[in-house]
Amino acid sequence: MPTQANALPPSLVNELSDLNRRLTSVERAPAPINTFDRYPSSEWEPIDRGVVGDNIWHAMSIANVTGLVFDRIETKFTTYGVIKGKREPEVRLAAYRHTRDGKKQIVSASNTWQLSGADDYFLTSGMIRWIHGIPFGWNYATDTDVYSIEFQVRYAIGPEAIPARKYLSVVGGIDDPFTGLDLPEVKKDPNGQSWRELIVRDGEKFHWDWIDVGPTDTGNAKISAMQYCVGLPTARIPDATTVGTFSYGLAWKVARSPDLNEQVMNL
C-alpha cells in the first residue's frame, strides 16, 4: 500500500495522465491516404450578398475546422461593388461548436468590420488573421464535437434601392388577336437622326403605354466565399489576434468589438 513517502506527486500524476491522453490520440489518428493534404475548392468570384431576415448575420461560407492543429487561422476574400454611402456591408468571422444532438453553439467571434469601399465599382480583396478560440492540437483529444468557422455578412448601409426604369411600348392582352405592326420607311429628322413611325393597324387592341422594366443591378454588394481558411503557426502569422487582424484594398473601419449575442441565422 503506498505511503506518503512513495506516493507520486500530483503534478507527475497529471503529466502521466496527459501523456496517456496524447498516446491515445496518436493511436486513434487515421492512416494517411496519400502524402498530400486535400482541401475543398472555393468559388473565386464575388457574388450578390443580400439581406436575410431583419438584416441579421448569415454565413457566406463555412469551413469545417474540426481537429485544428494551430490556434490561429488566415482567410482571404474578394469584393466588387462596395460603394460608399450606398452599399456598405459588415463582415466578421464566428466559430461554432456542433454538438452530437445537432445543436450549434457560438464559441467566439472576431471584430465586426464595415466595408466602405469606394465611390465607384472596384474589384479588390481582403484578408483576416484570427486566433479562433477553438480547442486545437492535443487539447482537441478531450472534445468530440465538430467545429466550424463562418464568414458572415450583414449591412451597415444598404443594399442600395435601384428603381425600375419606364419604357414607352406598344402593349396588349395576351389573348388579343395580333396581325402585326406597320414599320414604314426610315425617316430623317432635321438633325439627320434616323427614326421610324410605328403604326398599329385598325382593329388591333394594342396601344401605347409605359411599362416598368426591373433593374439588372440588384443594389447588393458582391462578396466571395472564403477562398481558403487554414490554420497556421505563430511564426507564419504572428500578427493574428483574438479580435482579428484585418486588411482590405479599399476604405474600411472597425464597427464593433466581438459580440456573441448579436442576432444570427443559427442553423
In a domain, 136, yes or no: yes
Classify strands 47-49 and 199-200 as parallel, antiparallel or unpaired.
unpaired
The domain boundary, picked from 195, 213, 231, lies at: 213
**Which helix or strand (DSSP H or E) is residue 148 part of?**
strand 146-157
> Residue 127 in 3-state DSSP?
strand
Range of the domain at 207: 165-213
Task: Name the pTM for this structure.
Answer: 0.75
pLDDT of residue 232: 92
The number of domains in the chain is 2
Q: Which residue has the cell 403605354?
A: 209
**86-126: per-residue pLDDT in tens?**
999 999 999 999 988 888 999 999 999 999 999 999 999 99
Q: What pLDDT is stored for residue 181 in this prediction?
A: 54
CB distance 237 to 74 below 8 Å: yes
Exposed e or buried b per residue across 54-68, where buried means at least 16 C-beta atoms within 10 angstroms of its C-beta: eeebbbbbebebbbb
Write out pLDDT tens, residues 156-213. 999 999 988 887 776 666 565 555 555 556 777 778 787 766 666 666 666 677 888 7
Instruction: Say yes or no to pLDDT of 24 above 90.
Output: no
| 111 and 174 share one domain | no
What H or E segment, with its residue span, contains residue 108? Answer: strand 104-109
Q: Are residues 207 and 223 in the same domain?
A: no
Residue 4 in domain: no
- Give the model confidence (pLDDT) of 219-267 as tens digits: 999 999 999 999 999 999 999 999 999 999 999 999 999 999 999 998 8
Tell me, yes or no, whether 182 and 113 share the same domain.
no
| pLDDT one-digit tens code per residue, 61-84 | 999 998 888 999 999 999 999 999
